[in-house]
Amino acid sequence: MDVLERLQKISDTIAETCRQSNRNPKDVELMLVTKTVPVERILPAIQAGYKIFGENKIQEAVQKWVGSDLAPTKPEFIGHLQTNKVKTCLDVCGRIHSLDRVKLAEVLDRELQARGESREVFLQVNSSNEESKFGVSIEDALSFAKEMRHFSSLKVTGLMTLALFSSDQEAVRSCFQRMKSLFDEIQKQDLYGTDFRHLSMGMSGDYQIAIAEGATIVRVGTAIFGERNTPNSYYWPEDKQ
Ligand SMILES: *Cc1c(COP(=O)(O)O)cnc(C)c1O
């Protein structure tokens, strides 16, 4: 199967999973995660009309998406964002899915103020409590969400998480359920009004569970583009930098 055939198959699975969970397929968007995938393999997806792409490393985003055949499409940023890469990230990427600390919010907000711009961001939550994952803890997430309201250039429109990497489906499901409760609570407290509407969770191995538990964006890489040569630990380092 080529990339477009796999995309069709995944779109069908998403629609079918929505039906089974009494959800409208229009409420679930597919992000194509293109880390390590070269330009020429991404291009057909853009030409076929797919709109949401995710990159995990700033340097790779620059190399592939600036001044190439992929422009003017911009990827969204789903990786760990270092403060010294904030300017480049704002230049090259669209939405940022990984706001996970106050210091980063300060640097982003200051730079956006200077530019007279605002930017859509998601709060990254560590729903599995694994040391190796970035994100604010579930316990701290609500107060973090409240604090983020002080940064007027940051438009918080959703939450993002990576669930436990495990073959224990119920343990994975618990991560998604914790996220959905948090998401509902933020909506109930009306911290961000109706703009707050995205729950980005679910990857190649667990997106069907995520949809059943309320995901509005699933982020899929391997199932579309095939296995990567780099191990996941390259993206989620054991020692957080
Ligand atoms: C790589 C990555 C994905 C996609 O993972 P696959 O298992 O390849 O589908 C999703 N989210 C983030 C943050 C990633 O880095």
The values of phi and psi at residue 75, to 5°, are -80, 160
Q: What sign does the CA torsion over 87, 232, 123, 131 have?
A: negative
Q: Is the CB of 203 under 6 A from ligand 1?
A: yes
Task: Name the residue at shortest CA distance from atom 7 of ligand 1.
Answer: 204
Q: Is the CB of 56 under 6 A from ligand 1?
A: yes
The full DSSP string for the chain is --HHHHHHHHHHHHHHHHHHTT--GGG-EEEEE-TT--HHHHHHHHHTT---EEES-HHHHHHHHSSSTTTT--PEE-S---GGGHHHHHHH-SSEEEE--HHHHHHHHHHHHHHT--EEEEEEEETT--TTS-SEEHHHHHHHHHHGGG-TTEEEEEEEE-----S-HHHHHHHHHHHHHHHHHHHHTTSSGGG--EEE---TTTHHHHHHTT-SEEEESHHHH---SS-GGGTS-SS--
| Residue 119 Cα to ligand 1 middle (Å) | 22
- Among the atoms of ligand 1, which is closest to the Cα of residue 97? 13
What is the pLDDT at residue 145? Answer: 98
Q: Which residues pair with 77 in a beta bridge?
A: 55, 96
What is the pLDDT at residue 224? Answer: 96
159: tokens are 């939450």
What is the pLDDT at residue 227? Answer: 87
What is the pLDDT at residue 165? Answer: 86
pLDDT in tens, 156-181: 999 999 999 888 999 999 999 999 99
What is the pLDDT at residue 133? Answer: 77
What is the pLDDT at residue 57? Answer: 97
| Chain mean position to CA 19 | 23
What is the pLDDT at residue 84? Answer: 97
What is the pLDDT at residue 129? Answer: 84
What is the pLDDT at residue 130? Answer: 82
What is the pLDDT at residue 132? Answer: 74
Q: Is the CB of 135 under 6 A from ligand 1?
A: no
Stretches in the chain below the pLDDT threshold 70: 236-241
What is the pLDDT at residue 237? Answer: 58
pLDDT in tens, 91-110: 999 999 999 999 999 999 99
Q: Is the CB of 201 under 6 A from ligand 1?
A: no
| Proportion of the chain above pLDDT 70, given as a percent | 97
What is the pLDDT at residue 236? Answer: 61
